[in-house]
Amino acid sequence: MRVRVASAGTGKTTSLVLRYLELIGSGTPPRRIAGVTFTRTAAAELRQRVGAGIRELLRSGHFLGVMELDESQRPAYEEALRELDGATLTTIHGFMIDALRLSAPAMGLDPDFAVLPEWEAQALFEEELRTLGYLAADRKHPFHGATTMLGPDAKPHLLRLFALRSSLEQFKAGNDDASQAVVRLFEASYTEFERRLGARSLPPSEVERRALKLLGVPAALARLRDRYRVALVDEFQDVNPLQGRFFEALEGAGLEVEVVGDPKQSIYGFRNADVGVFRRALANGEELPALDRSYRHGRLVNRFINHLTASLAAREMGFGPREAPEVSAAGPRAEVRGRVEVHWVAGDEPVADLRSSEADVLARRLASLHREQGIPYREMAVLARSHPSLAIAEEALRRAGLPAVLLQGRGYYERIEIRDLYNALRAGIEPSGVAFAAWLRGPFAGLAPRELEAVMSSKEPQAELERIDPQAAEAYRYLRELILRSPLEALKALIREPLIAGRSFVHLLEERQRENVDALLFTVAAQPPGDLEVLLERLELLARQTDAGDVPQAGDGVKLLTVHAAKGLEWRVAAVFDLGRRAPRNRDALRVHPDSGLVSFPGSAAFPEAGRSLAEREEAESYRLLYVAVSRPREILLLTGSVKGGQCFGWARALELMSLGPRAKQHDSRDFMLVTHPCRSPAHEPSEPPKTRAKTALEVAPWIDEKYSHHPYPPLFSPSRIESDRVTGTQASPLEDAEPVAWGDAETSGDPPGRASTIGTLVHYAISQSWSPDDPRHLVNLRAQEVMFPFTPSEQDEILAEVSTLLANYLAMLGEELPAIEAREVDQAELPMALPQGATVWQGVIDRLYQVGGRWYLDDYKTDRNVDPRLYLAQLSVYVQAVSRVRGVVPVARLVYLRSMKVVELSAEELETAFLETMARAGEPGALTRTSPVPASLTQNSHTRE
């Protein structure tokens, strides 16, 4: 097995695309390659990127500057492009399902077998548990003794083993009676569960188990080897043990398997992921060179991450040195210096007060970044280990008047508004029990506690309800009628009809609650249950899923989310909140050793050892979770923590080992801050929940059920901001590499915008003004420009020297590579343009538009070190389209590289393709126009020569 370590932000997807192209070039068509990723979204992105890479190779003859097209390979790439839509680019389960369908009859399966969701699989297993419990009540039943001994705890113990079935092929019982009883009961129930699934249904974990069995059937294995030659597996650090054994067995059977992943980002232990699978592959396979250039992080953030990983790896805290290669900043991010801040709140006050004060410190820092640096709140995120921490941060942001958006909450199906609906439907079936009491006390009936007690203690609850509250009794009679409808219709009526004093349930809810209720309706409508009991059982099962979050809020505020939910995302500013919170401890009464599968209970000899092993895994994953958190920001990283009595726990301990704890020497410079704050009482009382305005019944708007898709581009957008990798499949940087800086050093005059971008700005301005590098007045004027303020005098001298060289190159090109100014019939510099197209107005500035000999030219000046026209095809295609629509002419588009003194002319075909692709992504396919003017604009300015 070939293994590659890819740290956060190092272009893992790009490396997979490159490997795809290499395989195709060596004679392996896409139909013989299995591309395996962790999510369907990632698989779709990989398919798109591979297609873009093939087109780029065929169009330009190279890819990323590291792969050249041999013309003898062109037919292979052309064929690959035609068959790419049918290639296997899927998830791990998708690949296993495809493998099983290839040999379904040999595996005892229907080729069209269905894949059940996990909640439905658990429902079926619980039915088998109930059946076994009913039968075992008979004293003569062989499991009577086991069920009697375990009592009511049998079901949660057995469900625990059911949830772990992707981590272990078999559970082992210890020498104690309890573990032997639970393992016997599980094996009996699971056998009946598998029999119930039959040949037509498989849940995800059973897909894994059947796929492992497939590799033991020679005929099925031979067919799989005939179908695929290579398997490329992404995110291998997140596979579970059964999935790992599947790929190991494929490798052993002769299929070439290549995996890429990052052990430092293995954080899904609660989903049975096991980083040991990746480590085993790394130890036994062929280790490929690690990806060690980060295209995400600014220089200071990248240096901090290196400092953290080196400190943790040296102590084997979450990962080792082999898994934590040093990473250098690359691409455009290398031009950004960035900033790192560590804030502690320390004292002897209660932890709750310390955390509240910590949250206020964080809110003030975010407000300052917004106010002083103009960073929008939508480009900020607050990450925390736990949902309670996010609640504290959210309250502080609201106290400070900052907009906050909770992206992923917890316990959606346990939200009070969802439980109110569940209880109402359950109460409609039978006027007794907890659900009926909740309905009486809840918004639908609203009885007082004494009234509730009177109804529930009565032998005739409905008659007593009629006596106490006739209006509530009438509502209950109508509820009994509702449940006779289809489950979906009953739910809709319960939500929308005026059942509560002339008002509907939804009108009593706040905006956030209404979003959750709407989402419930959409969920039920997407898969309508056949009867009410099925719906209620589904809601009850989903309520027990800890990863079922409430509906994400929309808005442009600071994003609040857990680190698990943040994986794969990035922001300009990311804050890691509540570093001092301890990791939750495993308190399960039943423990399963993660390596041996030995089941143990308190009092048994194996129980403490299983606890130690589980605790070590949880602690190691906690430090990997910290790495994921600190690797989310592009430019600014904020770290905050609360420490009581000087004792550091959790992530705070990791920073203390880096000499960045609350007792470290305080530091405050332009790019790094380390400060310890005293605990302060909240500046304001906790904000009250917004009061709901009185609602009046309104007619349903005709557009209420319309759906609007999110537009990929904002209403106003610059063509120069089109991401190059969206067009070319590349992540190459047009900017030169920055010099490395020492960790923690400061710049005395502020945060610079970037040396390369400053040079480009000055050069463009000087050319538009027809300035000369030999005129001292012009150089003095350039030094006085605002973009030069962040730099020291010596740095300004260096920048001006480079600007002078580029200006001299430009002047030398005039009359040679470029037409002389006096030879131009029309000459317009720095020409603003605006092109309305669909929902977006494309607005930018054309460097130069001129006419020579009756022919129009559009020049775009570049100060890049590398000549790579691919990066600017989309940008120039928009400029050319704007000129053609306004002027009725099609200019020759050219890139003028001032460093190398080269002029690259872009073909009309390339530009047309780039424009169509850009507009297709914007939802405007077929938007190309060459001759028909539209209300675009090209505004002449003072530097126009005609």
pLDDT average, residue stretch 24-40: 91
Instruction: Count the alpha carbons within 13 Å of 327 in the hemisphere toward its beta carbon.
Output: 36
Nearest C-alpha neighbor of 569 from the set 578, 577, 582, 560? 560
146-160, 248-262, 437-451, 879-893: range with lowest mean pLDDT? 437-451
Residue 736 has pLDDT above 90, yes or no: no
Interval 265-318: pLDDT, tens: 999 988 899 999 999 999 999 999 999 999 999 999 999 999 999 999 999 999
CA distance 350 to 345: 12
Q: How far is CA 506 from CA 485, 528, 779, in A?
A: 20, 21, 67
Q: What's the token pair of residue 740? A: 């490395």
What confidence score (pLDDT) does residue 787 get? 81
Q: How many residues are recorded in the chain?
A: 946
**Cβ contacts of residue 758 below 8 Å, gap of 6+?**
752, 787, 788, 791, 799
Helical (H) or strand (E) element with 916: helix 908-921
Q: DSSP class of residue 725? A: H
pLDDT band at 792 (very low <50, low <70, confident <90, very high): confident
Residue 582 has pLDDT above 80, yes or no: yes
Q: Using CB atoms within 10 A of its CB, is residue 661 exposed (0-12), middle (13-18) or buried (19+)?
A: buried
Q: DSSP class of residue 569? A: -
CA distance 737 to 409: 41
Q: DSSP class of residue 345? A: E
pLDDT average, residue stretch 527-555: 61
Neighbours of 907 (CB within 10 A): 12
3-state secondary structure of 941: coil
Q: What's the token pair of residue 178? A: 């309890």
More confident residue, 492 or 411: 492
Which residues are 827's β-sheet partners? 850, 945
**If you search the block for the tokens 């082992």, which residue do you land on?**
172
Q: Using CB atoms within 10 A of its CB, is residue 548 exposed (0-12), middle (13-18) or buried (19+)?
A: middle
Pair 254, 225: CB distance under 8 Å: yes
Interval 841-881: pLDDT, tens: 889 999 999 999 999 999 999 999 889 999 999 999 999 99
CA distance 377 to 363: 11
Pair 789, 752: CB distance under 8 Å: no
Q: Is the dihedral of CA 506, 512, 517, 518 positive or negative?
A: positive
pLDDT band at 512 (very low <50, low <70, confident <90, very high): low
Task: Tell me how many helices (H) and strands (E) the chain has.
Answer: 32, 31
Residue 324 has pLDDT above 50, yes or no: yes
Helical pair 433-441 and 416-429, crossing angle rounded to 10 deg = 120
CA distance 735 to 127: 62
Helical pair 416-429 and 532-543, crossing angle rounded to 10 deg = 150
CA distance 876 to 863: 16
**Cβ contacts of residue 818 below 8 Å, gap of 6+?**
810, 859, 896, 903
Alpha helices (runs of H) in 228-274, residue ranges in sequence order: 241-252
Nearest C-alpha neighbor of 580 from the set 642, 531, 520, 527? 642
Alpha helices (runs of H) in 137-240, residue ranges in sequence order: 144-150, 154-163, 177-197, 204-214, 218-227
Report yes or no on whether pTM surpasses 0.85.
Answer: no
What confidence score (pLDDT) does residue 555 get? 56
Q: What's the token pair of residue 316? A: 């084997």
Interval 422-466: pLDDT, tens: 888 888 888 888 888 888 888 888 888 888 888 888 889 889 999
pLDDT average, residue stretch 891-918: 93
CA distance 102 to 661: 57
pLDDT average, residue stretch 498-516: 78
Residue 547 has pLDDT above 70, yes or no: no
Neighbours of 602 (CB within 10 A): 12
> CA end-to-end span of the chain, whole Å?
67
CA distance 511 to 750: 42
What confidence score (pLDDT) does residue 709 get? 60
pLDDT average, residue stretch 22-43: 90
Interval 660-697: pLDDT, tens: 999 999 988 888 999 999 998 654 444 444 444 444 55
Nearest C-alpha neighbor of 264 from the set 232, 301, 328, 311? 311
Instruction: Count the alpha carbons within 13 Å of 77 in the hemisphere toward its beta carbon.
Output: 24
pLDDT band at 926 (very low <50, low <70, confident <90, very high): low
3-state secondary structure 350-400: CHHHHHHHHHHHHHHHHHHHHHHHCCCHHHEEEEECCHHHHHHHHHHHHHC
pLDDT band at 732 (very low <50, low <70, confident <90, very high): very low
**If you search the block for the tokens 């099609």, which residue do you land on?**
890
pLDDT average, residue stretch 806-834: 93
Which segments within 603-678 are labelled E, that is strand? Answer: 633-644, 667-668, 672-678
CA Rg value for the chain = 32
Neighbours of 688 (CB within 10 A): 6
More confident residue, 164 or 64: 164
Nearest C-alpha neighbor of 496 from the set 721, 684, 697, 311? 697
What confidence score (pLDDT) does residue 882 get? 93
Interval 771-787: pLDDT, tens: 999 999 999 999 988 78
pLDDT average, residue stretch 810-819: 94
Interval 66-112: pLDDT, tens: 889 999 999 999 999 999 888 999 999 999 999 999 999 989 999 99
